[in-house]
Amino acid sequence: MIPKETVDLILDTARIEEVVGDFVTLKRRGANYVACCPFHNEKTPSFNVNPARGIYKCFGCGKAGSAVGFVMEYEHMTYPEALRYLARKYHIEVKEEEETAEQIAARQRSESLMAVSEYARKFFLEQLQTQEGHAIGLAYYRKRGIEDATIEQWSLGWAPSGKTALVDAARAAGYKDEYLVDAGLAIRQEDGQLIDKFRERIMFPIHSVSGRVIAFSGRTLRSDNPAKYVNSPETEIYIKSRNLLGIYFAKSSIAKEDRCILVEGNVDVVMMHQMGITNVVASCGTSLTEEQIRLIKRFTENITIMYDGDGAGLHAAIRAIGLILKEGMNPRVVFLPDGDDPDSFSRKHTLEEIRGYIASHEQDGIGFKTDLMLKDAGNDPLKKANLINEIADTVALIPDAIKRQVYVDTVAKRFEIEADIIQDRVRKTRENNRHTARRENVSPSANNYADAGRNAGEDSFPSAKNYADATGKESSPAYGSANNKGRLLEPSEKELLGFIIRYGRTPLQFESDSEFYDPEGAQSVAEFIDAALAGDDIRFANQAYQSAYDAYFALYDEGLEQDAIVLALLNGEDRTVAAVTADLSTEKYELTVHNFTDALTTTDSWLVNFVPRAILAYHDKRLQARQEELKAKLSGATPEEQLEILTSLGRINEIKKTINIKLGRLKK
């Protein structure tokens, strides 16, 4: 754990323009810098770096943050990793805080397993230069068209034929037997002797998200060996279901292109990357798992499945579509011509041809499943009915209500039946799924929030995709509200929080004849807003805004100055709070009840006018949300209940009228 004093020194030393400038060509524009955004494709620069505030913000895609946030986002690092990166850049020594004996033992064991795995990587790579490795392993790679630079980049290697080649070399290098066994590199026989797990195989190292070697996949070249692939067993540093081959090399491209291509074979991944399509990964000797999908979700919500077109590949693709939809992601499917896999196809075509083929042949996941099952159903009405139910059940997996409704309408049109029929089946299936989940004591939405792809040690960190998307866009998953009330209140909540983030400690100097005048002294903007909300025990409907609100006041109550509070929020480990803070502290942020360019008075003067107005506008929206809730209950209410609801609506209308008179929207 990095001591707080060292963290503060790193954050105080790092200059946003220097950190971002290591990755992006910045051009000065006044006091700030601009560039084309590194997180999305654009021709006109909308990426802004503000040295004075220490933040970056893209006004195109909305991504924002501080220096440490940029490193986390761009390099897909954890918070501690980003801090260490900045420490190295600015030559700051990092001395970790003292750990408990158990923590030290666990960390040292994990590091030992990774160290022996790294040694094995180098060993297998070096074996390609031996007579056996050159004649068999290297010859195979070259036959498959794998270039030397690719071999070096991926550390592709050769496991020699000797029973104890790796064991003997590792022992000589000082590595203990227990770590060779526990890392899955050696097997202990009944007589106690150690032998190599991988022999006479070409070797594919499996990297963690951060680039550490944690396991291996070995492919035999002998036709008489029934075990074509042998993979590392699960260990303390490697869980098969949570890792993907190639994720370390693909993660930046996946995030940049906002799409991940999923293939089946090890060589498929390598060859696609060599061709120049670098957003490609494969599952590590397992069927696709929910954990692997969540790992991809850190970087994108779009997955293109590119499996073999045989029966097994089709079955795997159908299964994958359901898993991807369940995680709230968007599956597409593309199958290559008969007899081709990504490896062979990439060797026959240019990069442009491959990209063009994918673009023109990929199909929506549900549409693909429908087409495939229709072929099987033919003209059999019973099979067709079962097919419609099957497709409706697949649609029911989608957590997002809007997406679900779009698919309901699409399926209804495809089969020329009423959308209500499909909707009813979807509703019943979702109810059954919820009942099943409750019986199993599992929340049906738990998977949407699960921490994807956790690995031992340094790879255990929150979803980068979640905090990266907290950019202030109305449609952002991290900001978006799940219900109508949340969406209705979101702009007003953003406005109030924007006042706090930018002007929280500014005093509100009301005139003596104002209803808000306090003879004991002026309240600050933050105190005034907090008092107005606390009086009704109000919390924001938008959880990201509420988290930022709570974090702000925790620091405010410690007595920190405004700039220090904002800096602490920007540099904090909670990257959602950091992104919210960066978004609301940028100059292009505009309040909904007024326009800064129209304010021809001092900051103190217009704050006195507009902060109370923003609070009134927020209360008006809350009343509107309550109106909608009550109106929705009218149709199913009894006459007595309807009378009570109508009475409540009348009272709300009177209160809203008073508020709108104060806002100048209505005359007295």
Work out the average pLDDT over 551-576. Answer: 86
In terms of Cα–Cα distance, which of 617, 495, 504, 590 is closest to 545?
495
The pLDDT, as a whole number, for residue 358 is 93
Residue 252: band (very low, low, confident or very high) from pLDDT cuts 50, 70, 90: confident
Look up residue 206 and give its DSSP letter.
Answer: E
Separation of alpha carbons 471 and 197, rounded Å: 47
Counting Cβ atoms within 10 Å, is residue 55 exposed (0-12), middle (13-18) or buried (19+)? Answer: buried
Work out the average pLDDT over 212-229. Answer: 87
- Flag whether pLDDT at 338 surpasses 70: yes
In terms of Cα–Cα distance, which of 159, 219, 157, 156 is closest to 195?
159
Tens digit of each residue's pLDDT (9 = 90 or more) over 470-489: 333 333 334 555 567 778 88
Tens digit of each residue's pLDDT (9 = 90 or more) over 409-446: 888 888 888 989 999 998 888 888 776 665 554 333 33
Work out the average pLDDT over 221-246. Answer: 88
In sequence order, which residues have a C-beta less than 8 Å from that of residue 31 and are 6 or more positions away? 50, 51, 52
Q: Please tell me which of 65-79, 147-161, 423-437, 593-607 the model is most confident about, judged by mean pLDDT.
A: 147-161
Is there a contact between 482 and 601 (Cβ–Cβ < 8 Å)? no
In terms of Cα–Cα distance, which of 485, 495, 490, 496 is closest to 624?
485
Strand partners, 261: 280, 304
* pLDDT top residue among 392 and 31: 392
| Residue 282, token pair as written in the block | 């494969």
pTM above 0.75, yes or no: no
- Flag whether pLDDT at 35 surpasses 60: yes
| Residue 346, token pair as written in the block | 């990439």
| Residue 511, token pair as written in the block | 């005139």
* pLDDT top residue among 412 and 518: 412
Q: What is the share, in percent, of the chain residues with pLDDT greater than 90?
A: 32
Tens digit of each residue's pLDDT (9 = 90 or more) over 444-467: 333 332 232 223 233 322 233 333
Counting Cβ atoms within 10 Å, is residue 25 exposed (0-12), middle (13-18) or buried (19+)? Answer: exposed
**What average pLDDT is seen over the chain?**
83
The pLDDT, as a whole number, for residue 442 is 37
Helix or strand or coil: residue 76? coil
Work out the average pLDDT over 511-533. Answer: 81
Separation of alpha carbons 49 and 52, rounded Å: 9
Is there a contact between 485 and 625 (Cβ–Cβ < 8 Å)? yes
Residue 285: band (very low, low, confident or very high) from pLDDT cuts 50, 70, 90: low
How many alpha carbons fall within 13 Å on the CB side of residue 167? 20
Work out the average pLDDT over 532-545. Answer: 81
Cα-Cα-Cα-Cα torsion 306, 310, 316, 320, nearest 10 degrees, comes to 30
The pLDDT, as a whole number, for residue 54 is 83
The DSSP element (H or E) to which 58 belongs, if any, is strand 55-58
> 631-667 burial string, b = 16+ CB within 10 Å, else e?
eeeeeeeeeeeeeebeeeeeeeeeebeebeeeeeeee
Is there a contact between 19 and 86 (Cβ–Cβ < 8 Å)? yes
Separation of alpha carbons 61 and 578, rounded Å: 16
Separation of alpha carbons 333 and 78, rounded Å: 32
The pLDDT, as a whole number, for residue 602 is 54
Is there a contact between 96 and 128 (Cβ–Cβ < 8 Å)? no
The pLDDT, as a whole number, for residue 636 is 80
In terms of Cα–Cα distance, which of 277, 395, 412, 282 is closest to 345?
277
Residue 644: band (very low, low, confident or very high) from pLDDT cuts 50, 70, 90: confident
Work out the average pLDDT over 397-411. Answer: 86
The pLDDT, as a whole number, for residue 656 is 83
Task: From residue 421, give the alpha-carbon distance in Å to each of 122, 370, 371, 486.
Answer: 60, 17, 20, 30
Q: Give the chain's domains with CATH numbers.
A: 4-89 (3.90.580.10), 101-238 (3.90.980.10), 244-439 (3.40.1360.10), 484-662 (no CATH)
Q: Please tell me which of 160-174, 362-376, 515-529, 581-595 the model is most confident about, judged by mean pLDDT.
A: 160-174
Work out the average pLDDT over 223-230. Answer: 81
Strand partners, 215: 206
Q: What is the share, in percent, of the chain residues with pLDDT greater than 70?
A: 88
- Flag whether pLDDT at 134 surpasses 90: yes
- Flag whether pLDDT at 111 surpasses 80: yes
Is there a contact between 575 and 70 (Cβ–Cβ < 8 Å)? no
